Structure 1
Amino acid sequence: MTKPIISIKNLSKVYDTGSIRFEALKDINLSVYNGEYVSIMGTSGSGKSTFMNILGCLDSLTAGEYILDGKDVTTLSDNDLAIVRNKKIGFVFQAFNLLPKLTARENVELPMVYAGIPKGERQKRAMDALRKVGLENRTEHTPPEVSGGQRQRIAIARSLVNNPSILLADEPTGNLDSKSSLEIMNIFDGLSRDGVTIVMVTHEEDIAKFTKRTVTFKDGVIISDKVR
């Protein structure tokens, strides 16, 4: 059988301040395979955001194992984790996280700057990514000059340029109206059909229905894992 691109075994996360000990995640086991399209759901405080931060190598686990694309990330140094985040993981956030003074193309080029990719190759890949999300006519516009939906498309293009192993989307439609949300989900649909592995956190049932599998958290544990 194919090895999973994400393998989580007996993962726990405890926040311990000395006076307060809070177990955010309890003995989580989950595998995600190449090309899967998964939504992570749960109410506020369920553990889904903590889990997403660990998947994105933005937070460390307290116990257990996390293998990403064959690499045990729990053993990596901070520098190595930064490299993994840049090369293996594409991030799409609710707040877009774009630099307002840079053009769409320049924002998309940023991960490649950090990866040391030459300028000509950066520009070509940025243009290709913006074309893929339908923004080839907005490449020289800055984020304040485009709509919220277009900003999120720029963010999606940026997440793809280093050909990551997985795309992590955290409430990607949370700041958008229903029309823009549908446009963004149609883009994710297309990426999924192209074989991109997508894990998306959402609290919206209608958004989760776009995905092929829904994992639901409650009180730090997985209470359901359903494939459509």
Structure 2
Amino acid sequence: MIILENINKIYKTGDIEVHALKNINLHIKMKEFTAIIGSSGSGKSTMMNILGCLDTATSGKYLLNGLDISQIKEDKIAEVRNKQIGFVFQSFNLLPKLTAVQNVELPMMYAGIHAHERHERAKKALERVGLEDRIHHRPNELSGGQRQRVAIARSLVNNPAIILADEPTGNLDSKSEKEIIEIFKELNKEGVTIVMVTHEPEIAANCKRAITFKDGEIISDKINY
């Protein structure tokens, strides 16, 4: 599923070099539910950006579902992101003027899927996260937890190889946080591969595997259950 070999990421500012990632070697199998955990500056966000094809490594090899990302031309990267990766962000990233079902349809529009099929698939995705009675509501008519459910539904509609969740409970109250974690657990039971970035150990404990970063390196890789 995901294979990283000797991944390095160096940011340069004038004569100063910052080694954000140092010789990362990592395998994540299909159907795993993995947390990437670490404090601010640990390298976890850089790792997420590389996994999500939002940034490229300075050196090393990244294979996603058999694709060698380092060999794909830049103009094709957006296509890979849309088809292979589903994103869930802390800030939801929903368009305020669109309804829930219209927000969920967006990735399929970019993929060129016909309008009727888009609508049906979006409705099914919203049903999957328990929002079948909110499909015509706009984001400002939904709670934070419901908005994150819309974002999760949107991440699912193109049947991606992997879902990347970046601090997905960071803006939620404790009740909504638990509900969102349970949705991820259920999706994982259904076979969805999930990688979740968090700085909270108690959130990481809900994942089957927890990989801890510090100063750009993996310092721990453990199975939780």
- Residue 53 of structure 1 aligns to which amino acid in structure 2? N
- Aligned equivalents of 1:45 and 1:184: distance in 2? 26
Q: Aligned-pair distance for 1:54?
A: 0.2
TM-fit CA distance, 1:26: 0.3
Of 76, 81, 84, which aligns to 2:80? Answer: 84
C-alpha separation between the residues in 1 aligned to 2:16 and 2:71? 27
Pick one of 68, 72, 81 that aligns with 2:68: 72
Of residues 157, 160, 178 in structure 2, which corresponds to 1:164?
160
Number of aligned residue pairs: 224
CA distance in 1 between partners of 2:39 and 2:129 (Å): 30
Q: How does 1:49-128 map to 2 (within 5 A)?
A: 49-128=45-124
Structure 2 distance, partners of 1:55, 1:41, is 14
Is 1:26 the equivalent of 2:22? Answer: yes
Paired residue secondary structure (1:23): strand
Amino acid in structure 2 at the alignment position of 1:79: D
Over aligned residues, Cα RMSD in angstroms? Answer: 0.6
SS in 2 for 1:183: helix
1:16 equivalenced with 2:12 (yes/no): yes
Structure 1 residue matching 2:123: 3-state secondary structure: helix
**How high is the TM-score relative to the length of structure 1?**
0.97
Q: Which secondary structure does the structure 2 equivalent of 1:100 belong to?
A: coil
2:33 counterpart letter in structure 1: Y
**Superposition deviation, residue 206 in structure 1:** 1.4
Q: Does the alignment pair 1:176 with 2:172? A: yes
- C-alpha displacement of 1:56: 0.1
Q: In structure 1, what is the equivalent of residue 188 of structure 2?
A: 192
Point out where structure 2 has 5 or more consecutive residues left out of the alignment.
Answer: none
CA distance, structure 2, for counterparts of residue 47 and residue 155 of structure 1: 25
Letter of the 1:17 partner, please give it.
T
Cα distance in structure 2, aligned partners of 1:6 and 1:155: 23
Q: Deviations over 1:71-106 (max 9, x none)?
A: 000111222110010000000000000000000000
CA shift, 1:20, in A, is: 1.5
1:196-217 CA-to-partner distances (Å, cap 9, x unmatched) read 0000001111111110000000
Partner of 2:223: 227
Cα offsets for 1:86-127 (capped at 9, x unmatched)? 000000000000000000000000000000000010001000
**1:20, 1:103 → 2: CA distance?**
46
2-side partners of 1:74 and 1:150: how far apart? 36
Name the CA distance, whole Å, in 1 between partners of 2:143 and 2:100: 12
1 CA distance for matches of 2:53 and 2:65? 13
1:141 to 137, 151, 155: 137
Deviation at 1:17, TM superposition (A): 2.2
Q: Percent identity?
A: 63
- 1:19 deviates by 2.4
